[in-house]
């Protein structure tokens, strides 16, 4: 599956570092522009800073997609969703990845580096990047929580 080339911000903590590195190669090889905000090793770090950095930049530029990886995907998702305009979704399976785009117009994908292997993660990312938002009633529902 190939997606139109996109600009992707990617970040992880130590729990997602190995998966981040392999996904960077996967995405770059498919023509995507990948901007890595760290972390740079498997040394223990705190995930909120990486999540905030990606989330704020995605919120400021609707053309960007974000990918955040920690041990489970949960902490990254919780932090990213604190930023208005960000719709982050934990997608550790293909169905959730498809629905997060089609129904929730997610703009940040989070995954667990201790949950999914590199093969499944590549499929999840591909589905996420290739699935369009369906709009319609789903936009109305998003408006209901984004506009307060
Ligand atoms: C780090 O041990 C772990 O808590 C973190 O990667 C993440 O899973 C948090 O949600």
pLDDT of residue 2: 54
- At 136, which CATH number? 3.40.1400.10
Residue 57 counted as domain residue: yes
pLDDT of residue 147: 84
User: Ligand 1 center to residue 128 CA distance, Å?
Assistant: 22
Q: Which two tokens stand for residue 43?
A: 């040394």
Give the residues across from 10 on adjacent strands: 36, 67
What is the per-residue pLDDT across 22-34, written as a single tens digit (0 to 9) for each?
999 999 999 999 9
CA-to-CA separations, 23 to 16, 102, 106, in angstroms, rounded:
10, 22, 19
Q: Which two tokens stand for residue 121?
A: 């993660």
pLDDT-flagged residues of the chain (< 70): 1-3, 148
Q: What residue ranges line ligand 1, CB within 6 angstroms? A: 13, 15, 47, 70-72, 74-75
Residue 93 counted as domain residue: yes
pLDDT of residue 35: 98
- Any idea which residues carry the catalytic annotation? 70, 103
Residue 90 counted as domain residue: yes
Domain extent, residue 114, equals: 7-146
Residue 82 counted as domain residue: yes
What residue has token string 């996420």? 128
pLDDT of residue 136: 98
Residue 2 counted as domain residue: no
Residue 37 counted as domain residue: yes
| Count of domains forming the chain | 1
- What does pTM read for this prediction? 0.97
């Amino acid at each position: 599956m190939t997606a139109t080339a996109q600009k992707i911000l990617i970040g992880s903590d130590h729990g997602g570092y190995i998966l981040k590195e392999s996904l960077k190669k996967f995405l770059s090889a498919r023509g995507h522009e990948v901007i890595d905000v760290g972390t740079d090793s498997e040394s223990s770090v705190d995930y909120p800073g990486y999540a905030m950095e990606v989330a704020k930049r995605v919120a400021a530029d609707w053309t960007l997609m974000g990918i955040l990886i920690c041990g489970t995907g949960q902490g990254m998702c919780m932090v990213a969703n604190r930023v208005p305009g960000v719709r982050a979704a934990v997608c550790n399976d293909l169905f959730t990845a498809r629905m997060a785009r089609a129904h929730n117009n997610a703009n940040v994908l989070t995954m667990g580096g201790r949950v999914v292997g590199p093969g499944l993660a590549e499929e999840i990312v591909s589905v996420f990047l290739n699935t369009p938002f369906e709009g319609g009633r789903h936009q109305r529902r998003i408006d209901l929580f984004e506009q307060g």
